[in-house]
A and B are shown apart, each in its own frame.
Chain A
Amino acid sequence: MELMRLSELREGEKGIVVEVKGDLKTKLLTMGIVKGTEVKVVRNAPLKDPLEIEVRGYLLSLRRDEAEHVFVERR
């Protein structure tokens, strides 16, 4: 159970959201990335950035530097 940033998860890895920080906080929360939510990194873009995650049954893509502000516990 390690605390890490969403941007550090690798393809296929899952995590439980612990905290959301940063300027994008409101948007991230609105999109369903709140404490206790399970997120899964589905893939990275062919050019490595952005990354695509699965959350609450849908797919969301965000840049690596945006994912840095989401702290998760790796499953």
Chain B
Amino acid sequence: MKKAVVALAGNPNVGKSAIFNALTGAKQKLGNWPGVTVEKKEGICKYKDIEMHIVDLPGIYGLTASSIDEKIARDFILHNKPDLVVDIVDASNIERNLYLTLQLIEMDANIVIALNKVDLAESKGYKIDAKKLSEKLGLPVVPTVAIRNKGIEELKRAMYNAIKTKIKSSLRYNDKLESVISLIEQKVVEKRVLPEYPSRFVAIRLLEGDEEILRSANLQEEVIKQWILQRS
């Protein structure tokens, strides 16, 4: 049996626990993230010839590492390099939920979207075209209603496929911003800044003034500003 590590990510209140339970059933393990008192839930989900080791990340709104929860999630994705990240998006709250999705894409993660609570979204008057959404995001999108076990089989199938054939979304922001990002990314590659992380991710973080990335790279904000000014 091939083993794969799958991280479950998503905002708080999206129904991550329900999805985790639906995927892992009774086979769950509880512990702590190393060095902190934050709960860590792990479980197993077997599908065809893959044994998926599911790790439930803390619920987070973003990946800026400004809180312990964000730091845990980000570190896990960067250091443990899971084979797949299942991003659970609350369909009734889709705009804010996609913010995390975009940051996961920036991290070059292999992503499957579980579009949860589609029933609630409908009752609130939203009509979501999952196919169109999938097209625009460049990622598989599986509608689910986790507490009623709907869409879970389809989710497992999508997870299986994504583990076998990794998909990378190639979403880009507006041209003006992208030119600055490319500039920084070039420097990052040239100077071999944090080569163990995806270069686009490092570039975007340096641009944002992410304290932890700046510290790990041994760079100051002024240096980044210089890079931008030099070229323009």
CB < 8 Å neighbour of A32 from B66, B99, B124 = B99
Contact indicator A26/B95 (Cβ below 8 Å): no
Contact indicator B95/A56 (Cβ below 8 Å): yes
Known contacts A30-B61, A31-B61; decide if A57 and B95 are in contact (CB<8 Å).
yes
Contact indicator B95/A30 (Cβ below 8 Å): no
Least distance between A31 CB and chain B CB atoms (Å): 6
What does DSSP make chain B's interface, helix, strand, loop or mixed? helix
Please tell me if B29 contacts chain A, counting CB pairs below 8 Å. no
Contact indicator B93/A30 (Cβ below 8 Å): no
Known contacts A30-B61, A31-B61; decide if A56 and B66 are in contact (CB<8 Å).
no
Contact indicator B93/A57 (Cβ below 8 Å): yes
Q: Which residue of chain A is the closest to B126 with respect to CB atoms?
A: A57
Contact indicator A31/B66 (Cβ below 8 Å): no
Within 8 A of A (CB), among B51-98: 61-62, 64, 66, 92-96
Taken together as a complex, chains A and B put the C-alpha atoms of A21 and B41 apart, in Å, by: 36
Contact indicator A58/B66 (Cβ below 8 Å): no
For residue B99, which residues in chain A have a CB less than 8 angstroms away from its CB? Answer: 30, 32
Taken together as a complex, chains A and B put the C-alpha atoms of A30 and B94 apart, in Å, by: 13
Pairs of residues from A and B, 6 with the lowest C-beta to C-beta distance, nearest first: A30-B62, A56-B95, A32-B96, A58-B93, A30-B61, A56-B96
List 6 additional A-B contacts (Cβ < 8 Å) besides A30-B62, A32-B99. Answer: A27-B61, A56-B96, A57-B94, A57-B95, A57-B124, A58-B93
